[in-house]
């Protein structure tokens, strides 16, 4: 992902979130004198990894560019419960109106980064890498993939436009593994990855014979994964997917696969509990 693409995603996400929450105006914030300045601190209620500073800051600055945020913890850093993460100073109405959207981004992206970091640490030293999927929250594809990177994982294709993944239904519609791969190899622009999903060792053998270089092993058990690594013998990159948890991810990595993709990084993550408190 390029910095310019992340910047565009931040702008689009923040505009959508503020429009959704504010509508025609924040009725409750109007109870506060318009020129009042407030001072607030952000604390966390659990151990986690910080992710989402750019989205958080953009929410406040969209309503008041003069709001000042002083971060005490860096993006991507781990922190303990009750840590004070930043101090915020600026227009009270703007702080109160931006608070919820800003926290929504921070809790969601920190949740993704935190669970990703746990998976990355679980397989440390095996040589395998943790990968994300397209199973993201609607509208937050770029943001959650950014969070996976902050957590130490790697990104798959962003969408259907920048990579080929030939799955079971594509294979059936195309007339088989060999036919699907041959068509993909003929039609795909050089530099675009072509991956094919297989569901058995027999299908893996067919994919290898057809010249597959990137193969997704769908719901293989440990015995099948070890056999797949032995059969492939480094002729292709192998990626394990399906039924993966923190309890079994290291055993999967030790089977000899190169990559492990986990949809739960972005669809099953648990939001981190933050609290923004205005000083009185």
Q: Other CB atoms closer than 10 Å to residue 78's CB: what's the count?
A: 13
Question: Which residue among 64, 75, 154, 218 is the active-site one?
Answer: 218
| Catalytic member of 134, 149, 157, 167 | 167
Q: What are the residues facing 130 on neighbouring strands?
A: 260
DSSP string, 3-54: HHHHHHHHHHHHHHHHHHHHTT--TTGGGS-TT-EEEEEEEESS-EE---HH
Catalytic residue among 118, 134, 135, 157: 135
115, 270 Cβ separation under 8 angstroms: yes
Question: What letters, b where the CB count within 10 A reaches 16 and e where it falls short, cover 31-47?
Answer: ebeeeeebebbbbbeee
Give catalytic status of residue 145 as yes or no.
Answer: no
Q: Which of 46, 64, 75, 100 is catalytic?
A: 100
Is 100 catalytic? The answer is yes
Q: Which of 197, 203, 239, 258 is catalytic?
A: 197
**Continuous segment of H or E residues that includes residue 78:** strand 78-79
> Does the active-site annotation cover 66?
no
197 labelled catalytic: yes
Distance CA 221, CA 217 (A): 10
- Nearest to 50, CA basis, from 93, 8, 113, 130: 113
Q: Which of 73, 82, 81, 77 is nearest to 47 (CA)?
A: 81
What's CA 75's distance to the chain center, in Å?
15
As a whole number of angstroms, the distance between CA 260 and CA 148 comes to 13
Q: Which residues are catalytic?
A: 100, 135, 167, 197, 218
């Amino acid at each position: 992902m390029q910095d310019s693409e992340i910047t565009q995603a931040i702008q689009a996400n923040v505009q959508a979130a503020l429009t959704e929450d504010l509508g025609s105006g924040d009725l409750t914030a109007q109870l506060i004198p318009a020129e009042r300045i407030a001072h607030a601190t952000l604390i966390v209620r659990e151990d986690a990894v910080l992710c989402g500073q750019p989205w958080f800051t953009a929410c406040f600055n969209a309503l008041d560019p003069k709001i000042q945020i002083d971060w005490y913890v860096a993006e991507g850093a781990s922190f303990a419960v009750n840590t004070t993460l930043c101090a915020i100073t600026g227009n009270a109405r703007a702080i109160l109106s931006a608070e919820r959207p800003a926290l929504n981004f921070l809790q969601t992206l920190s949740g993704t980064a935190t669970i990703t970091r746990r998976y990355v640490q679980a397989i440390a030293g095996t040589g395998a890498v943790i990968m994300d999927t397209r199973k993201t929250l609607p509208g937050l594809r770029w943001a959650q993939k950014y969070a996976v990177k902050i957590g130490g994982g790697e990104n798959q294709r962003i969408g259907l436009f920048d990579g080929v993944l030939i799955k079971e239904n594509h294979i059936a519609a195309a007339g088989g593994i060999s036919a699907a791969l041959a068509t993909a190899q003929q039609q795909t622009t050089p530099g675009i990855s072509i991956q094919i999903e297989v569901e058995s060792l027999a299908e893996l053998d067919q994919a290898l014979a057809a010249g597959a270089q990137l193969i997704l092993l769908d719901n293989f058990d440990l015995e099948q994964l070890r056999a797949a690594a032995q059969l492939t013998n480094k002729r292709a990159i192998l990626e394990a997917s399906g039924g993966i948890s923190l309890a079994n991810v290291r055993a999967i990595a030790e089977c000899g696969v190169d990559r492990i993709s986990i949809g739960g990084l972005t669809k099953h993550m648990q939001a981190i509990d933050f609290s923004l408190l205005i000083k009185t």
